Structure formats: C-alpha cells, structure tokens
Structure 1
Amino acid sequence: MNQIETCNAIKHECDQFLDLLATAGLDAPVPSCPDWTVAELAHHLGGVHRWAQLLVETHAQSPQRRPPLEVDISDRQALSAWFAEGSSAFLATLEAAQPEAPMWAWGKDQRVAFWIRRQLHETMMHRVDLELAVGAVVDIDPLVASDNIDELLELLPYAVQFQPNAANLRGVGSLHLHATDPGLEANGEWLIRYTEDGFEWAHQHGKGDVVLRGPLTELALVLNRRHELPGRTEVLGDAAVLEHWLANSAL
C-alpha cells in the first residue's frame, strides 16, 4: 500500500471508530483489552495519534515522551471532539510527510514510512477492539489484513525490547497460514520456519508442522489475539506449535 492508500485507510478507520464511539457505553469493558473501558480505549488511541504526529512532525531521532492528554473521558461529546480533532491533525501530518525521510522507529525501517504503516494497523486493531466491545460484526479490508500479518511478522524480531516473550519464537517448527478468500494468490499464504536465531517467513505455499486455515480477516484476528481459536479457522497438524506462536507473539 502506498502513502495515499494507507492514509485513506487510516481515515476510514478513524471515521469508523468515531461512529462506534457515538453510541458505545463509555464504561463498557473492552474484552480484547481487559484492563480498559471504551472511554479508556478512545483515550489511548487518541493519545497514540498525537504522539505519532509529534514524532513525524519533528522527524524524531530518538524516542520521545508522549504529550499530556487532557480530556474528560466521562463526557462523550468532549471525548469524541478531542479524538476527532487529534485524528484530523494527525492525518494531515501523515499526508504531508515524506515517507522516505529518515527518523527514529522501533523497527527495522528507520523512516517516516514506518509510522504511517504502523498507525494504520494500530488504528485498525483498536477499531476492532471497539467493535468487539459493542458486539458489532468485525471485518477488515483484505489489503489491510494481509499487510497487517506481514507487518506483524516483520516487527516481532524487534518487539523483544518491550515484549520479551518474542525471544521464544525460535528453535524447531514451522507454521503455514492459509487464507481461503478468493483472488489473494501469494498474498494469502505465509510459511514461517523457526531457526536457531529466530524465524524466517515468506509468502508461499508449503508444508508446515501446523496449518492455520480460514478467512483472511479471521487469520488476522487470531494472530493478533482478538479471537480465540478456533474461531472461523481450521487448525491442521501440531496445534502445540501454533499455541506456542500465539503465546509469544503479542505486540
């Protein structure tokens, strides 16, 4: 996905989030983020947007503290307006940014492009969290869902700095992810193989010790631990290999 496509997708996710926030119970728990209420989820995501905007605007060369977030999260109108104002300014910054410009990031890609892509998946997954909280039907655009799985696999080796369990994704074993949606071709399959130092992966069909098979949206939800197994997926082979992966792959 290029910059325009990604920013358009972020805007769509923000709009969906705001639509859901308009009627969701602010004190309702978020099952996929068990320590948060709906209001706290909105406060978190709005804060992430403001932080990412600051990083990109300044081409930060090192980690920066998050700006203070002053809003009454018990006031729906105030919270929604605060979220909308922040997401609008955040999107304007991403749209005007130069993706190739160098800056700090916590992954391999040390460019502005890292943060544009990261914020799509951050926003999308928290939109999913809000849908789960209100009992709405969850769906993810196929291009976004496929890139979400790619990004997860790319970032996990760098996530050890804040998710130490990711270091356990090594050794012996292999996983094959197979999306059953029509027309995906190579973008709908992933083969992951453990190595002594971590894991390697590629878009390809191949035999794994375990296969996770199902709709692309469901694969993304399971891999991001938003749905529990089996959900709408089918697990074939050594389920313990998949369970080990899921237990150690949270971002």
Structure 2
Amino acid sequence: MHIDQLADALREQTAAFADAADAEAGTPVPSCPGWVLRNLVGHIGQAHRWSAGIAGTGQPSPLPDPLTADPGERDAWAGWLREGAEELIAAVGDGTRVVWTFFGERPSRFWLRRMLADTTIHRADAAIATGRAHGVPATLATEVITEGLELLTSPAAPQVRAALAGLRGTGETILLRSTDGPGWLITRAPTGPTFTTTDGTAADVTATASAQDLLWLFSRRVPPTDPRITVTGDAAGLDDWLALTVF
C-alpha cells in the first residue's frame, strides 16, 4: 500500500476501533486474556504515540507497559485515539526517513504499517469484546498478513523474540490460499522461514478462506477448525506455526 493509503487506512481503523470500544471500561476482552477495554484502548493510543516518537526522532525508545497507559475518561477515548493516529501519521511524513526499528534501521513507513496492523487486529479484539462486526477489506487483510510475514521471516526475528527460532524447519510448507486475492506459501527452511506470494501451489498443509478470515486465522483470532477455514493436509504443521507465533 502507498504511504497515503496506509495513512487513510490507519485513520479508518482507528475510528472503527473507537466505535467498537464504545462500552464500559471494565468490559473483558476475551481474545486478550487479562485485559479489559480500558487496557486495550490505552495500548492503542500509547503505541501510536510511542511509535510516533521513534518515527520523529529516528531513535529507539523504551517499550512502554500497556497496562500503565491512561486513555482518560471513556467519553474522551475517540478523540484521544484520533489524536494519537494523527501524531503518528505526521511523524512518519513521506515514509522515507531511515529510523530505528526492532529489525534494524528501516524507512519510517515501517511504523505506519506496524501500527496499522496492530490497530486492525485490536479493532477485532474490541469488536469481539462488545459483540460488534469487524470486517475488513481484502486489500487491507492482504497488507496486514504480508507485513506480519515479512517480520516473522526476517533474519532478525529470533533476536526480537527467541521463540521464533522454532519456526525453522526442514522444508515444511504452509499455504494460506485466499479466495479473493493472492495467497502466501511459507517454507520452514533450516536457516529460517521464507515466504512468497502465489495464486496456488501444493503444500504440506493448506488453509483456504477469504483474505479477511485468513487474517483472523493468522492472528489467532479464529482457530483452524472455524467453519470459515478449510484446512487440508498436515494440520499439525499449521497448528505448530500458530502456536509459535503467539504474541
């Protein structure tokens, strides 16, 4: 997605998140065990501002504790969230400035993509908590899955999270086959996982669904047994990948 598309999508998902989170602050969030809505709202607003600081200065900043974030009074949540998103968009600018990231120095658009992905998935968490719909366009679902795979297959991934070293393998393949866009073929090589986009190929295990439902599977918001997902082949290989990528 172009930088302007990323910015517009962040605005849209932040607004949708605010709408979905319009409920009592203490409402439990089942897909984020131990969290209530106030924690989830605090995390998103805090994360946008934290990443804006990095995008603006280019320098690392200590990772904040989401449980310490203060989103203010419930009636002010929407405005506070919107302000954080705009702060990030402004700090990223045209997206070309080289800044610090967990994966080494990268253009500042990294943080816009990262926060768009985080906001999109947590918008679903808020909707799950409050019983609201949380559909996303296929183009956005495709962007978020691709961004996530780029991070998981980065050589630096095990340095960021040691458990990701477990994604190495001996050539096992996983195909995420989208019914409304390109799919992704993941190969678990001895040196680390890789992926390519594909319209169809053979794999040890294949999960077939819409891009949106593949996103919910990829982010573990629905299980492989969900009726919207069709799994063929070695299901244990998919289960193992999902277990190793829990954050």
TM-score by length of 2: 0.89
Deviates more, 1:160-169 or 1:120-129: 160-169
Q: CA deviation at 1:164?
A: 2.1
Q: Partner amino acid for 1:87?
A: A
For 1:250 and 1:125, how far apart are their aligned partners in 2?
13
Quote the residue 1:120 is aligned against. 116
Aligned to 1:169: 167
Contact kept? 1:180, 1:215, Cα under 8 Å: yes
What secondary structure sits across from 1:77 in the alignment? helix
Q: What code does the residue aligned with 2:15 have? A: D
Asked whether 1:245 is paired with 2:244, we answer no
The CA distance in 2 between the partners of 1:124 and 1:101, in whole Å, is 24
The match for 1:201 is 195
Q: State TM-score, norm by structure 1.
A: 0.88
RMSD: 2.1
Q: Which amino acid aligns with 1:148?
A: V
- In the alignment, which residue of structure 2 is the partner of 1:179? 178
- For 1:215, the equivalent position in structure 2 comes to 210
Opposite residue 224 of structure 2, the aligned amino acid is L
Structure 1 spans left out of the alignment, 5+ residues: none
5+ unaligned residues in a row in structure 2: which ranges? none
Tell me, what secondary structure is at the counterpart of 2:106?
A: coil
- 1:50 is displaced (CA, Å) by 0.8
Moved over 6 A (4+): 67-70
Offset at 1:177?
1.0
Q: 1:142, 1:216 within 8 Å by CA — same for their partners in 2?
A: yes
| 1:212–1:107 distance in 2 versus 1, CA, 3 Å | same
Tell me if 1:146 matches 2:145: no
What is the match of residue 224 of structure 1? Answer: 219
Deviations 1:188-230 (A, max 9, x none): 2111111111112111221111000111111111111111222
Contact 1:170 1:194 in 2 (8 A): yes
Q: Give the 3 Å change call, closer, same or farther, for CA 239–105 of structure 1 in structure 2.
A: same
Query: Is contact 1:11-1:91 (8 Å) kept?
Result: no
Identity score, percent: 30
Distance (whole Å) between structure 2 residues aligned to residue 39 and residue 87 of structure 1: 17
Query: CA separation of 1:143/1:211 partners in 2, compared to 1, >3 Å: closer, same or farther?
Result: same
> Which secondary structure does the structure 2 equivalent of 1:207 belong to?
coil
Cα deviation for residue 90 of structure 1 reads 2.7
What number of residue pairs does the alignment pair up? 241
Tell me how far apart the structure 2 counterparts of residues 131 and 70 of structure 1 sit (CA, whole Å): 20
Structure 1 residue aligned with 2:3:
3
Q: For each residue in 1:161-196, what CA deviation from the matched residue of structure 2 results, as whole angstroms up to 9, or x when unmatched?
A: 343221111113111110112xx2xxx211111111
1:5 is displaced (CA, Å) by: 0.4
